[in-house]
Amino acid sequence: MKQVNYNTKQKSAIMSCVKTMGDKHFTIDSLCKKMQKGGEMIGRTTVYRFVEKLSAEGVLRKYNALSGESVCYQYVGENNSCHEHFHLKCEKCGKLFHMDCREMSELVEHIKSHHGFYLNPLKTVIYGVCEVCSTK
Amino acid sequence: MKQVNYNTKQKSAIMSCVKTMGDKHFTIDSLCKKMQKGGEMIGRTTVYRFVEKLSAEGVLRKYNALSGESVCYQYVGENNSCHEHFHLKCEKCGKLFHMDCREMSELVEHIKSHHGFYLNPLKTVIYGVCEVCSTK
DNA sequence: TTGCGTGCAAAGGTTTTGCATGGCA
DNA sequence: TGCCATGCAAAACCTTTGCACGCAA
């Protein structure tokens, strides 16, 4: 069932690069570029494949792109610590905000009970304009 | 300033095809296919260009794709009638649901006043699993 | 030694661009 | 007639797939 999982230098390189991203969103391309600068030359195909695997395992979270952008990923960690918060993305500056509040949990509950829809906070990104940009 | 805007049969064909979509989401490809079936042969490039223009004008709304899918559009109309509802997209079956309820409007208000974030319902898509798929 | 992992090359799909021609006003 | 609009072809991107070789266990 559980297939063997070889440890290779490529995988560790990708893994540690991913961790340096903190909770920022990143693309496959940005990963490759960053590793390249760090002297690591990892094949793009390998990055695609391993990142996809990490997504499937829940180590990374996969996000839909803003139109025109590529698919984005975010490091979550094996502990899956940030399960229940939401992401707000500013359309102006591109910054990502985390939001964790009672109102949001209530909304999830409301949508489930009244609309029969099981909201997935991991995938949902709320778009809008942040405070800083709105005052410019 | 305001550039001249020639009326062509291509533009009217695209325009009326777009209107037949109601408030459903569609891709460039689906538009082309639909027009092709209707006997209209409009160049793909033209469709891209005109749809992009309609988006910029606010006649169409442009949506981020689910990963792997193409960019989606939705007809809004010059009147911009459906401002305030939200879109729920099922990750399993891909269906799109519209939700228009008080709780949601309250949330928008809450996020604005407590988190300083101006939520944009036009761009935000909530992901999750719909009732039908969740019982399978 | 075994067979998963890697990465080149090529294929696939979507969107954009260059450019000559067509057609609206 | 002037100039925007069109659409073919090709380029530009991003992502996936095929396949032979490399390397961890």
pLDDT of the residue at B29: 93
> For the domain that residue B111 is a member of, what is the CATH number?
3.30.1490.190
Name the residue range of residue A41's domain: 1-79
pLDDT at residue A95 is higher than 80: no
CA distance B83 to A14: 42
pLDDT tens digits along B14-41: 999 999 988 788 999 999 999 988 888 8
pLDDT of the residue at B48: 95
Q: Which nucleotide is nearest to B4 (CA to C1')?
A: D4
> For the domain that residue B35 is a member of, what is the CATH number?
1.10.10.10
Kindly state the average pLDDT of the residues A96-111: 80
If one counts the domains in chain A, the total is: 2
Q: Domain boundary at B79, B100, B122, which? A: B79
pTM of the model: 0.72
Kindly state the average pLDDT of the residues A107-111: 85
Helix (H, G, I), strand (E, B), or coil: what is residue B112?
helix
CA distance B121 to B63: 11
One domain for residues B5 and B72: yes
One domain for residues B62 and B103: no
pLDDT tens digits along B64-75: 655 556 788 888
pLDDT of the residue at B64: 67
CB pairs under 8 A between A and B: 111
Mark yes or no for CB contact B114/A101 under 8 Å: yes
pLDDT tens digits along A115-125: 888 888 777 88
Q: Domain boundary at B79, B103, B125, which? A: B79
Residues paired with residue A26 on neighbouring β-strands, in sequence order? A73
Tokens linked to B66: 């689910």
